[in-house]
A and B are shown apart, each in its own frame.
Chain A
Amino acid sequence: MTEHTGFEYAPAPESRSIVDIKPSYGLFINGDFVDGHGKSFKTISPATEEVLAEVAEADADDIDAAVRAARRAYDRVWGRMPGKERAKYLYRIARIIQERGREIAVLESIDNGKPIKETRDVDVPISAAHFFYYAGWADKLEYSGYGTEPLGVAGQVIPWNFPLLMLAWKIAPALACGNTVVLKPAETTPLTALLFAEICQQADLPPGVVNIVTGAGATGQALVGHPDVDKVAFTGSTEVGKAIARAVAGTDKKVTLELGGKAANVVFDDAPLDQAVEGIVNGIFFNQGHVCCAGSRLLVQESIADELLARLKRRMSTLRLGDPLDKNTDIGAINSAEQLAKIKELSAIGEAEGAGRWSPPCELPAHGFWFPPTVFTGVSQAHRIAREEIFGPVLSVLTFRTPSEAIEKANNTPFGLSAGVWTEKGSRILKMANALRAGVVWANTFNKFDPTSPFGGYQESGYGREGGRQGLAAYLKGGQR
């Protein structure tokens, strides 16, 4: 063995044998898997483009059956069940998620493309935590401030970036409050929602309380537009969110929307630099940047911009891109060919607009959808990459000179989901938190999630809050304005 030999990490793949992917999946309606009436579609592994399974597509009749099942369960069982009894089911579901955690993590990584260390350490534990947290609320709703009366049937449509976690954010508070749900997972990532349907069976959840309908945009439209849905909850793109808002306008439906973002991560010259670099990396490269609250705009004080960028680039060079199931992978696959095309297009525009593009030397796998971690320097407010959500591992770097300029630039966006502040000065943190127009402001950290903390946006980032006591408002009559 010679001196200065590089310390290469041998492959450390998590075994796939723990998951059992069936060749085809039906819809989960009224406690059973049934065939859909639409054209079935394939879900693939974005890391290899391998076809994983055929999944049923729900048409309008299937949606109707699912909503009717949910209504029946609401009227006959769930809506009238005492909160402490509902809590038992939610606790049971939480525990089963923990028990089957490894299986869920592997399945999520295969279907979504995100690294196993994230599904294992973030998606699964926080999903379980949401069920535990809202299980605790189920018999204490009279202290919520929103009364105890549920809304009825909730139609929920979730995105592909955190498939199980977004399901947990939607289903846990809805069920705790006594609503029943029909949930549509994203068409590229249906498998963990279907596994969750099995978990509902395993927990003996009464039939119809949770219904899972798979499909694409048309399925979602049918669900959102169904006349017997009392409540619509959506997480996804601002474009679709606006369409939903239009579709439900003039009806009695209650709506919460959690949409896009273009978060500013503001680094002052007195920041803890090494941790700020970690926060920037975590802010934009966590989950391949497929995060609505991603810190996609780095605002750095001009006096430390060069030093910070040098540190950031050095750190980016240690990111490991590749097999999502390898335990040492930091950056996994882009979720779909469509998303990859969008990231490529906006990055090309960034270059054309004159921003400096940089990625560490990084070999991309031959198959699947991949994009290297990328940073754009010399970006100005006028550039499209500083304004539009890229939803990929692409960071735009802007500079500022004074705190007021930082606030002005950070708030100069139609979005307002999250923001970050890095400084060792406590008073500045408080001032920035008040001034930044964002639903979540992280101080000396980024992308931290907890079921006890409300999450949601301003302006085009949507309305309503998920998580915490405030997350109950969306599912109780007393929480409606």
Chain B
Amino acid sequence: MSTTATDFSDITRSEASLRRFLHGLPGVDQVGAEARAASLGTRSIKTTSKQFALDLAIRMVDLTTLEGQDTPGKVRALAAKAMRPDPADPTCPSVAAVCVYPDMVATVKEVLGDSGVKVAAVATAFPSGRAALDVKLADTRDAVEAGADEIDMVIDRGAFLAGRYRQVYDEIVAVREACGDAHLKVIFETGELQTYDNVRRASWLAMMAGAHFIKTSTGKVQPAATLPVTLVMLEAVRDFREQTGQMVGVKPAGGIRTSKDAIKYLVTVNEITGPDWLTPEWFRFGASSLLNELLMQRTKMKTGRYSGPDYFTLD
């Protein structure tokens, strides 16, 4: 499915037209959006549906390490875990991708080979995005050349908050071009955009610029992903498909640590966009500690017993 099929040039041709469009989107009532998310969070997911949800959540994880202290040894171990999250159980699915800084892409790629697990790299002067465009593009190309299947870029929040939407749009378009065949995820850092109106505007901006995925957060700013923010983004991709026929994926990242939380997100996907998005192709979790929690719950569902964290690998 191509993401450039619909022509938005009437909207994006000038700063003024782009602003008119984004500010003409229906507003988001904060209290109402948060109440809706809270109510979806009360769904009770048990037995077979819980098993389904846990396996699906594992398959949607972008297993992530984005630390200054990352070493080849650390990311190799993480990549090994991504392919076989539960060495004790061969029926346990692999995660969707391993997410690292660009300099670690080649190392990860070497381990993952043709396992089907993707390599995602954060780029564009992650996490702040405070660099010149050519530096961001070089960062992106580096990662793609090293073998990244997916690029997680950050938008320039300063430009967005100053109302320079065209600049944000142009940067996304340029990065998308630099991605070549790699898929582009666009990170908003919703903790810095603050309002749900901004989240909705950023979503449309990124979708029109050709994002394959829209992503909440870098994980470096609090709050990171929240259920209501993700709900607003899911409404945006749902409405975008309604209007253009094109699907865009959604990735909440940061702060999702428990199986219970992950299941709330899946329920929200199910009831806001419908089941078409309930696949790793269109929904991901950016997480690190979540995976072991999912594995522990999965083992509990299978055996009826809780085992300790010592039975799951720390990578």
Contact = CB atoms under 8 A, between A and B. Distances in A.
Contact of B35 (A3, A7, A278): A278
B32 A444 contact: yes
B27 A4 contact: no
Given A10-B50, A275-B28, A1 B55 contact: yes
Contacts of A9: 43-45, 49
Listed residue (B26, B47, B52, B276) with the most chain A CB atoms within 10 angstroms of its CB: B26
Interface string A4-30: 111111111000000000000000000
Given A4-B278, A7-B49, A274 B31 contact: no
Interface residues of B, number: 33
A273 B24 CA distance: 12
Contacts of A272: 26-29, 32
A283 interface: no
Nearest to B235: A274
Contacts of B27: 270-272, 424
Contact of A7 (B28, B93, B270): B270
Contact of B279 (A3, A10, A274): A3
Given A272-B27, A444-B29, A12 B235 contact: no
A182 to B, nearest CB: 37
Contacts of A12: 44-46
B176 to A, nearest CB: 25
A327 B44 contact: yes
B26 A271 contact: yes
Contacts of A328: 43-44
Contact of A1 (B46, B49, B52, B270): B52
Interface string B15-31: 00000000000111101
Interface string A402-427: 00000000000000000000001000
B52 A5 contact: yes
A279 interface: yes
Given A279-B32, A445-B32, A8 B42 contact: no
Interface string B48-59: 111011011000
Contacts of B45: 9-10, 12
B33 A274 contact: yes
Q: Name B's interface SS.
A: helix
Contacts of A1: 52, 55-56, 93
A7 B33 contact: no
Contacts of B55: 1
Nearest to A116: B44
A7 B42 contact: no
B103 interface: no
Interface in A305-333: 318, 327-328
B36 interface: yes
Contacts of B223: none
A180 B45 CA distance: 45
A109 B36 CA distance: 23
Interface bracket on A: 20 to 34
B275 interface: yes
B46 A7 contact: no
Contacts of A279: 32
B36 A278 contact: yes
B39 to A, nearest CB: 8
A4 B279 contact: yes
Listed residue (B27, B45, B46, B278) with the most chain A CB atoms within 10 angstroms of its CB: B27
A121 interface: yes
B271 interface: yes
Nearest to B38: A121
A278 B43 CA distance: 16
A9 B263 CA distance: 11
B227 interface: no
Interface in A374-429: 424
B208 interface: no
Contact of B48 (A4, A10, A318, A424): A10
Contacts of B271: 318
Contacts of A318: 271
B29 A275 contact: yes
Interface in A265-309: 270-275, 278-279
Interface of B: 26-29, 31-33, 35-36, 42-50, 52-53, 55-56, 93, 235, 266-267, 270-271, 275-276, 278-279, 281
Interface of A: 1, 3-12, 117, 121, 270-275, 278-279, 318, 327-328, 424, 444-445
29 contacts: A1-B52, A1-B55, A4-B279, A5-B275, A7-B56, A7-B266, A7-B275, A7-B278, A8-B48, A9-B44, A9-B45, A9-B49, A10-B50, A12-B44, A271-B26, A272-B28, A272-B29, A274-B28, A274-B32, A275-B32, A275-B33, A275-B36, A278-B32, A278-B36, A279-B32, A328-B44, A444-B31, A444-B32, A445-B32
Given A270-B27, A444-B29, 4 more contacts: A8-B52, A10-B47, A12-B44, A12-B46
